[in-house]
């Protein structure tokens, strides 16, 4: 009688560090999604106050889904009426240009496949890119991207509808601080990463450039110009080069 013994296959446990990174990615993604979704109430209320119908406001969030571009569009229309539509479209497009750069940067994270990239395209926004790139492992990055992107899309559209319906009741959204919700979320992501001289220099210089140019340029341009600060610093490797040299010297000694 022959007894067949099946080989037991063991599955290597997932490293604790990897589990912790995924947990951090989920927590950051959910936090950013909640903060940014609350900001949607502000857009819904401001859009209705600018003369848009509730359904028009909701369509903008469903199809455009770029907070800065949406605010620029309704702001210009509200100030100049339909005659200002070309300027409103131009402002929205300028702010939307940054999403092209985000798509190029996120392409390795999303992976290959036309269907996968097409599905990820609508969710490739400021917040999903920031949360994803803030993680270290590939799995944490992809989880951070999808949870942030999909979570904001659902929450933003729901809050847009709520803000549009309650616009007259809410009054000025700035009274509740909703206009600063997105900026606060970005600051929360950025602050822990400001540990090196190069990162601090880029943050301060970019903020100064954007602040100085905002009163004189149309919406969208200050952000794009400020982005060149990081490109210039990275190209010439300012600040980081000296630090790397000092580290190499210490290792030799």
User: What percent of the chain lies above the pLDDT cut of 70?
Assistant: 69
In which band, very low, low, confident or very high, does the pLDDT at 188 lie, cut at 50, 70 and 90?
low
For residue 148, being part of any structural domain is answered with yes
Under the banding of pLDDT at 50, 70 and 90, the label for residue 83 is low
Residue 108: which domain range?
Answer: 16-193
101 and 74 assigned to the same domain: yes
Rounded Cα distance between 201 and 182, Å, is 22
Q: Within this chain, do residues 153 and 202 fall inside the same structural domain, yes or no?
A: no
Residues 189 and 227 in one domain: no
d(CA 31, CA 45): 23
Same domain? 223 vs 127:
no
The pLDDT, as a whole number, for residue 10 is: 47
Domain-located, residue 240? yes
pLDDT of res. 185: 54
Q: Is 9 domain-assigned?
A: no
Average pLDDT over residues 97-102: 80
The yes-or-no verdict on residue 184 having pLDDT over 80 is no
CA distances from 138 to 109, 132, 141, 231, 243 (A): 7, 9, 5, 24, 27
Which range among 33-47, 95-109, 213-227 shows the weakest confidence by mean pLDDT? Answer: 213-227
Q: State whether 114 and 202 are in the same domain.
A: no
Residue where one domain finishes, among candidates 193, 214, 240: 193
Residue 11: inside a domain, yes or no?
no
* Pairwise CA distance, residues 106 & 95, whole Å: 18
Q: pLDDT: is 124 or 50 the higher one?
A: 124
pLDDT score for 250: 42
Residue 146: band (very low, low, confident or very high) from pLDDT cuts 50, 70, 90: very high
Looking at the fold, whether 38 and 50 belong to one and the same domain comes out as: yes
Supply the angle between the helices 221-236 and 197-213 in degrees, to the nearest 10.
150
Task: Indicate if 188 and 252 belong to the same structural domain.
Answer: no
- pLDDT averaged over every residue in the chain: 77
Who's near 123: CB < 8 A, 6+ residues apart? Answer: 145, 146, 148, 149, 150, 152, 153
pLDDT at 150: 95
pLDDT of residue 101: 80
Backbone φ and ψ of 10, nearest 5°: -100, 140
Range from 76-85, 140-149, 174-183 that averages highest in pLDDT: 140-149
What's the structural domain count of the chain?
2
- Residues 201 and 236 reside in one and the same domain: yes
Task: Check the CA dihedral 80-82-84-87 and report its sign.
Answer: positive
Confidence of residue 26 (pLDDT cuts 50, 70, 90): very high
């Amino acid at each position: 009688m022959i007894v067949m013994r099946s080989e037991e296959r063991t599955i290597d446990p997932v490293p604790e560090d990897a589990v912790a990174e995924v947990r951090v990615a989920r927590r950051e993604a959910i936090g950013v999604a909640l903060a940014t979704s609350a900001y949607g109430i502000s857009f819904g209320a401001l859009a209705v106050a600018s003369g848009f119908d509730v359904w028009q406001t909701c369509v903008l969030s469903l199809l455009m889904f770029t907070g800065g571009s949406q605010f620029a569009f309704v702001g210009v229309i509200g100030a100049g009426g339909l005659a200002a539509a070309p300027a409103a479209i131009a402002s929205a497009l300028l702010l939307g240009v940054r999403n092209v750069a985000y798509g190029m940067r996120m392409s390795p994270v999303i992976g290959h496949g036309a269907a996968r990239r097409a599905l990820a395209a609508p969710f490739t926004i400021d917040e999903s890119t920031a949360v994803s790139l803030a993680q270290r492992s590939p799995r944490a990055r992809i989880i951070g991207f999808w949870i942030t992107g999909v979570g904001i899309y659902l929450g933003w559209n729901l809050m847009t509808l709520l803000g549009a319906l309650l616009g007259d009741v809410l009054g000025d959204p700035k009274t509740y601080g909703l206009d600063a919700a997105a900026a606060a979320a970005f600051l929360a992501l950025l602050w822990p990463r400001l540990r090196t001289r190069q990162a601090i220099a880029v943050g301060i210089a970019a903020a100064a450039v954007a602040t100085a140019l905002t009163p004189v340029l149309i919406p969208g341009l200050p952000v794009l110009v400020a982005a060149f600060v990081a490109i210039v610093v990275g190209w010439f490797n300012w600040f980081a080069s000296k630090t790397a040299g000092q580290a190499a010297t210490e290792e030799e000694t």
